[in-house]
Each structure stands twice: as structure tokens, then as C-alpha cells.
């Protein structure tokens, strides 16, 4: 569709909120959110007020003489973002994404508020400090790579990983769900991946309806629930040292699972919960893309606004630290676990077909195939569909 100065543009109903540096535009039809500078917001207001495009461009050039104004290109950007409802009276088709997000609304807002109020948030912070103190006082509680091998047979360990590990991940995600439901907003759970790890992801995109400080609460909610689980798992062996060995081993597995996931949260280059906290604190919502462009010298991909260079330099340090932490996790935890698993199951393949050892080895192979299949599904879903960002940076018009 060709846009010219005589085109009549009608936008979807929208709401605009001021952020730290820029403005959040909410498309109330698709419930998508975009971050734009002041000049773009001025243009949107003039379009919605019915001014002609040529008139808008002339006014903007007068109001923003330092900017390179091209209203035609800007309207074309709005079309790509699906913010336009009509062009010259012709309806523009858009994806009906609103209904997709109206899930998990059955979780009561009143119930969610029990877990996310001022007292509860203070409690999560206290538990975080107590967990650090316990590790300092009792360094033997810090996880070791063998903590995931609770049983002698690998099929028993795999069942534990899937069942208990899955429960721990669901508890983490339920923290995000309750946090956003505490604000009366719906959400949904999706399957995704971080590198080679399968993850569950809670859709927090509607959190853009909230002020920045409330969004930070949404991103940290899962870690808050993790602190409760970790505190119980650390304290239990200390309070009940005579408990059965299997019970103590399960507690050690829980500590391992929660701590390693927290370390992964610090790998901000994976766009973890902590990455989105940094985005909101700094107000730089294109932080990852700009940092990659800076580190890998891809200047064309970098759109740096006033005052952001220092933040990008600082985040580059966190980015590199995250990469190093991933490497350390691989060599100190995952690689030894893989080697240990292979040493345990390889001899079983030489055992009789009807033996437990042989079946144990086959079970491990099946588990690997299932995980690879799920990862393939996650990767294909990510790269086959059109990428839709929750926030979009629009350059000066």
C-alpha cells in the first residue's frame, strides 16, 4: 500500500504513558506496546487529530528543527507495527493477539495479593539475605555437580529431574503469574529455551501497562519464590541432621537446582529476568541489541540516544561476565555431569537386554531424544514465525 501526503490515516485506539526517557504507546486493539521518542508521539497525536500528513510534516519541522522529519516513512513504520486501522477509508488487517493473552485470568487477584504486597516483598528480600548468610556460614551447603545424582540408577535420577525439577520451575513461574495477576492483568505460559536449556516463560508483556517500578516487581517475582524454596532446602538439613540420607540428598538437589538457575539469571546476555530489571532501571529498552552492536562492532545495529553510551559501556561488562559465568557453569557443573552420566550408563549397554542396567541406559537415551525434540520445537517456533518484539524503538521521523 503506497502512502503519500494526501493519504488519510486512522490509527487504532491508543494510550500514551511517559517513561523515564521516552513514551510507551499501547495499541489498545492488539495490546502491543512500543517505545518512542517525543517527536513520534507528537506526530501520532497530530495524525489522530485529523491533520494532513503534509501539514504534520511542516509543523514538526518547525517544532523540532534539529530532527530529520519524514512523515511518509514514519507512517510506513506505523503500518509495519500494525498501529494503523485505516488508510483512505480502507481497513487494514491485523493479528488478533488480544484473545491469546486472556489466559490464567482464573487466578484470583485477591489471592495473588496475598503473595505480592509490601510485607511479602520485604520478606522475600530478607530471605535472600539469609540464604547468602547461610552459604557464608555453611559453605558445605553450596551445590556440587553430583548433587543431581540422588539415586544409583540414572532412570530414577531422570524421573526426579523431570518431576521435582519441573515442580521447582512451575513454582518460579507461578511467582511471575501471581505478580502480574496481583495487578489484575492476564498472562499465559509458553515453552522456550535458553541456549540448550528448555524453559517455561510467563508472558509479562501486559506489564507495560504498569509503571516501571511495578514491572520490576513482575520480573523479580520468580526469584522471590525461589528464595522461599531455597531457604527451606538449606535450613532443613541443619534442623534435622539425623533425617534419612535420601531426604538430605533431595534437599541438596533442590539447592542445586535453585542456585544454578539463579546463576543463569545473572547471565543477562540470555535476556533473563535480571536483564529486564536492568532495562527498566536504566530506561534503555534496546539495551541488548545496542550492546551486541557495540561489542561486535556492528554499528549499523546500534541506535544510541542521548545519555545511553555510558549505560551501554557498563552493560557490556555485565554481558561479558555473563558469558564467562556460562563457560564456568559448563566446565564446573554440566561437563562433569555429562561425563559422570556416560560413565554410569555406557557399561549398561553391554548388559543383558532384560537387565536393569540395560534398561537404565536405554531410558537415558530416550530422555536425550525427548529433550532434543523439545528443543528443536522451541527453536523452530522461534525462527519460523515472524518476530514480534514487545517493545519497538522507532527512530526519529
> What is the maximum alpha-carbon separation in the chain?
85
Q: Is 118 part of any domain?
A: yes
pLDDT computed for residue 305 by the predictor: 59
Domain boundary among 97, 115, 137: 97
- Residue 141 · residue 248 · CB < 8 Å: no
Strand partners, 11: 84
Residues 242 and 277 in one domain: yes
User: How far is Cα 274 from Cα 266, in angstroms, rounded to an integer?
Assistant: 7
Q: Is 66 part of any domain?
A: yes
pLDDT in tens, 42-68: 999 999 999 999 999 999 999 999 888
Residues 78 and 189 in one domain: no
Domain boundary among 307, 322, 343: 343
User: How far is Cα 362 from Cα 356, in angstroms, rounded to an integer?
Assistant: 10
State mean pLDDT over 216-222. 95
The whole domain housing 174 covers 102-343
pLDDT computed for residue 397 by the predictor: 45
In the chain, the number of structural domains is: 2
pLDDT computed for residue 300 by the predictor: 53
pLDDT computed for residue 19 by the predictor: 83
pLDDT computed for residue 368 by the predictor: 76
Does 93 score more than 90 pLDDT? no
Q: Which residue has the higher pLDDT, 220 or 373?
A: 220
User: How far is Cα 1 from Cα 18, in angstroms, rounded to an integer?
Assistant: 32
Rounded to the nearest integer, the mean pLDDT of the chain is 85
Q: Which of 327, 137, 121, 136 is nearest to 224 (CA)?
A: 121
Q: Is 390 part of any domain?
A: no
Residues 47 and 66 in one domain: yes
Q: Is 315 part of any domain?
A: yes
| Reported confidence tier of residue 246, pLDDT bands at 50, 70, 90 | very high
Residues 86 and 138 in one domain: no
Q: Is 38 part of any domain?
A: yes
pLDDT in tens, 266-310: 998 888 999 999 988 888 877 887 787 777 765 555 555 566 778
Does 154 score more than 60 pLDDT? yes
Q: What is the 3-state secondary structure (H, E, C) of the chain?
A: CCCCCCCCEEECCEEEEECCCCEEEEECCCCEEEEECHHHHHHHHHHHCCCCHHHHHHHHHHHCCCCCCCHHHHHHHHHHCCCEEEECCEECCCCCCCHHHCCCCCCCHHHHHCCCCHHHHHHHHHHHHHHHHHHHHCHHHCCCHHHHCCCCCHHHHHHHHHHHHHHHHHHHHHHHHHHHHCCCCCCCEEEEEECCEEEEEECCHHHHHCCHHHHHHHHHHHHHHHHHHHHHHHHHHHHCCCCCHHHHHHHHHHHHHHHHHHHHHCCHHHCCHHHHHHHHHHCCCCHHHHHHHHHCCCHHHCCCCCCCHHHHHHHHHHHHHHHHHHHHHHHHHHHHHHHHHHHHHHHHHHCCCCCHHHHHHHHHHHHHHHHHHHHHHHHHHHHHCCCCCCCCECCCC
Does 386 score more than 50 pLDDT? no
Does 122 score more than 90 pLDDT? yes
Residues 274 and 316 in one domain: yes
Residues 55 and 88 in one domain: yes
| Reported confidence tier of residue 379, pLDDT bands at 50, 70, 90 | low
State mean pLDDT over 314-330. 90
- Residue 233 · residue 209 · CB < 8 Å: no
Residues 213 and 85 in one domain: no
State mean pLDDT over 78-107. 74
Q: Is 366 part of any domain?
A: no
User: How far is Cα 378 from Cα 120, in angstroms, rounded to an integer?
Assistant: 34
Contacts of 278 (CB under 8 A, 6+ apart): 268, 287, 315, 318
Residues 141 and 59 in one domain: no
State mean pLDDT over 141-152. 94
pLDDT computed for residue 102 by the predictor: 56
Q: Is 394 part of any domain?
A: no
Contacts of 355 (CB under 8 A, 6+ apart): 348
Residues 295 and 336 in one domain: yes
State mean pLDDT over 386-392. 43
Q: Which of 87, 13, 5, 1 is nearest to 44 (CA)?
A: 13
pLDDT computed for residue 378 by the predictor: 65
| Reported confidence tier of residue 195, pLDDT bands at 50, 70, 90 | low
Residues 51 and 133 in one domain: no
Does 394 score more than 50 pLDDT? no
State mean pLDDT over 185-207. 76
Residues 312 and 189 in one domain: yes
Domain boundary among 97, 117, 151: 97
Determine what percent of the chain is predicted with pLDDT higher than 90.
46
State mean pLDDT over 255-273. 92
Does 95 score more than 60 pLDDT? no
Residues 286 and 169 in one domain: yes
Q: Which residue has the higher pLDDT, 360 or 135?
A: 135
Lowest mean pLDDT among 1-5, 30-34, 193-197, 393-397: 393-397
| Reported confidence tier of residue 389, pLDDT bands at 50, 70, 90 | very low
Does 156 score more than 70 pLDDT? yes
Please give the angle made by the CA atoms of 113, 14 and 85, to the nearest 5 degrees.
Answer: 135
Q: Is 3 part of any domain?
A: no
User: How far is Cα 41 from Cα 396, in angstroms, rounded to an integer?
Assistant: 10
pTM, entire model:
0.80
Does 393 score more than 60 pLDDT? no
Determine what percent of the chain is predicted with pLDDT higher than 70.
87
State mean pLDDT over 138-165. 92
- Residue 390 · residue 208 · CB < 8 Å: yes
Amino acid at each position: 500500500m503506497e502512502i503519500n501526503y494526501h493519504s488519510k490515516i486512522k490509527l487504532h485506539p491508543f494510550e500514551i504513558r511517559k517513561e523515564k526517557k521516552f513514551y510507551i504507546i499501547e495499541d489498545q486493539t492488539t495490546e502491543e506496546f512500543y517505545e518512542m521518542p517525543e517527536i513520534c508521539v507528537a506526530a501520532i497525536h497530530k495524525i489522530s487529530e485529523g491533520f494532513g500528513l503534509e501539514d504534520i510534516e511542516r509543523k514538526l519541522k518547525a517544532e523540532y528543527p534539529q530532527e530529520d522529519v519524514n512523515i511518509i516513512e514514519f507512517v510506513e513504520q506505523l503500518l509495519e507495527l500494525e498501529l494503523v486501522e485505516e488508510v483512505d477509508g480502507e481497513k487494514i488487517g491485523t493479528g488478533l493477539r488480544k484473545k491469546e493473552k486472556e489466559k490464567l485470568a482464573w487466578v484470583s487477584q485477591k489471592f495473588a495479593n496475598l503473595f505480592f504486597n509490601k510485607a511479602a516483598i520485604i520478606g522475600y528480600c530478607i530471605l535472600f539475605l539469609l540464604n547468602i548468610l547461610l552459604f557464608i556460614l555453611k559453605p558445605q551447603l553450596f551445590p556440587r555437580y553430583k548433587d543431581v545424582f540422588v539415586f544409583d540408577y540414572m532412570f530414577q535420577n531422570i524421573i526426579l529431574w523431570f518431576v521435582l525439577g519441573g515442580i521447582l520451575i512451575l513454582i518460579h513461574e507461578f511467582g511471575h503469574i501471581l505478580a502480574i495477576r496481583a495487578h489484575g492483568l492476564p498472562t499465559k505460559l509458553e515453552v522456550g529455551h535458553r541456549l540448550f536449556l528448555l524453559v517455561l516463560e510467563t508472558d509479562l508483556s501486559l506489564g507495560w501497562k504498569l509503571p516501571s517500578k511495578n514491572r520490576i516487581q513482575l520480573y523479580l517475582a520468580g526469584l522471590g519464590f525461589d528464595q522461599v524454596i531455597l531457604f527451606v532446602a538449606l535450613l532443613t538439613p541443619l534442623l534435622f541432621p539425623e533425617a534419612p540420607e535420601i531426604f538430605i540428598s533431595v534437599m541438596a538437589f533442590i539447592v542445586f537446582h535453585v542456585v544454578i538457575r539463579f546463576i543463569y539469571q545473572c547471565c543477562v546476555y540470555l535476556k533473563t529476568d535480571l536483564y529486564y530489571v536492568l532495562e527498566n532501571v536504566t530506561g534503555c529498552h534496546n539495551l541488548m541489541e545496542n550492546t551486541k552492536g557495540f561489542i561486535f562492532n556492528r554499528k549499523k545495529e546500534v541506535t544510541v540516544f542521548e545519555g545511553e553510551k555510558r549505560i551501554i559501556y557498563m552493560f557490556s561488562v555485565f554481558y561479558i561476565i555473563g558469558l564467562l559465568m556460562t563457560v564456568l557453569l559448563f566446565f564446573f557443573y554440566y561437563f562433569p555431569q555429562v561425563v559422570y552420566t556416560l560413565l554410569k550408563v555406557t557399561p549398561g549397554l553391554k548388559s543383558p537386554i532384560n537387565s536393569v542396567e540395560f534398561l537404565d541406559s536405554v531410558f537415558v537415551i530416550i530422555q536425550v531424544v525427548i529433550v532434543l525434540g523439545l528443543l528443536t520445537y522451541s527453536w523452530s517456533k522461534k525462527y519460523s514465525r515472524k518476530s514480534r518484539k514487545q517493545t519497538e524503538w522507532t527512530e526519529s521521523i
